Amino acid sequence: MAEGISCRAMNEATPAAEEQTLTRAKLFARAEALVETVRARSGETEQLRRLSAETMEELRAANMHRILQPTAHGGVGAHFSGMVDIVETISQGCCSAGWCLTQYCSHNCLLGYWPGEGQADVWADMPDAMVAGVLIPSCGKARKVDGGWRLSGQWPFASGIYGADWFIAAAFTEGEDGQPVAQMHAVPRADYEILDTWHTAGLRGTGSADVAVEDCFVPAHRALAINETKGGGNAPGCAVNPEALYKLPAFSMFSINQSAAALGLAQATFDGYMTHARDRVARVSGKSVADYSTAQVKVGEARTSIIMARMLLHNCCDLGMAVAEKSEVAPMELKTELRAKAAMAGKLSAEAVDLLFQLSGGAGLYDRNPVSRAMRDMNCMRGHITQNWDVNASNHGRVLLGLPSADPAL
């Protein structure tokens, strides 16, 4: 197991209200038990361009996606770091599996902000529901009608959608003042269509296809304005969920989820490289690669980058939870700091993989070499807005310099 895993994973256990109580420690142990299975299936996952039915069944049975689900519905409602530990671990076996898992975890957490009736729609009959989502409001429109909304749109990058039971779709609706309002809508599987658009250079196994919704009715209790997720206990879900999780500034925490998958990929790539590095001999010179000072520097930098990435992610979790536990709204400086730090963790993880790819030489070009897939997967991760260093760092810098945040969701 990778060094530096948070000690909370082994000693924090929040009871969940179900017949077999789930705890953070139990779910972490299940992640460790499952990692070799998803690793053995990673090649098949990439060819399928989605997680296999077997992998989905195993993830659902392990209940790891319920680490951030409210305890009222059988989840753990754990410290946010619980998700980091589990996602990093699964991502060490298969980055696509870890990437989908982090989506299921984050959307379960997000549903905890919803009105109680909306949460019951999703979880009352299926407490282990898998929930995917795309939080880009410009992709859809919602029109107010009696009792709720009529939703239409097409959303790309719906990671894990093939195994999902519900989909959260963000869309713009018209506010009382005529201005657009960003709003999220929980839609059951029967009400959306999956479009097979996912043919990509990396993260192929995530099945991040497009989702189309055509004039679907969404009751009012299954809609939530993004403005109601900014933290401090004002979300409707806080009336039924006492956990601090649902008092976090939700959109400020999202970079942590994706960076946890990047961290797991970086750790696995490092471990894989080191398995053979000490005995590797350069073909041209016949010299031990370990003797090259350039190799020594890159190995040292890669390992340090991974350690620092892990520290940053757990620090973000601790900072966010500390404010949420006081039922306070985090100041904008902290909100942008969380995004910037978590994006830096992803950046450091990506740089570690870059270094290891350079060290792999010509052998790293072959698809059969895991470092080749790691490079492709990591470069696709970099395209995600939560992993974009320039966007997240510049917004933090704006706020530090006394300017308003450029991200209205925070």
pLDDT mean by block of 10 residues, the chain; 410 residues: 37 41 94 97 94 96 97 96 98 97 98 98 97 97 97 98 98 89 98 97 96 98 97 95 97 96 98 80 58 86 98 98 96 98 98 93 76 93 93 97 96
pLDDT of 360 reads: 81
Instruction: List the chain domain ranges.
Output: 8-123, 131-229, 248-400
* Nearest C-alpha neighbor of 263 from the set 318, 216, 302, 320: 302
The CATH topology of domain 131-229 is Butyryl-CoA Dehydrogenase, subunit A; domain 2 (2.40.110)
SS3 162: helix
pLDDT of 197 reads: 97
Are 190 and 201 a contacting pair, CB within 8 Å?
Answer: no
pLDDT of 287 reads: 61
pLDDT of 10 reads: 34
Does the domain made of 248-400 have the CATH classification 1.20.140.10?
yes
pLDDT of 276 reads: 81
Residues 6+ apart with CB under 8 A from 367: 373
CA angle, corner 176, sides to 171 and 180, nearest 5? 30
The CATH topology of domain 8-123 is Butyryl-Coa Dehydrogenase, subunit A; domain 1 (1.10.540)
pLDDT of 18 reads: 43
pLDDT of 6 reads: 36
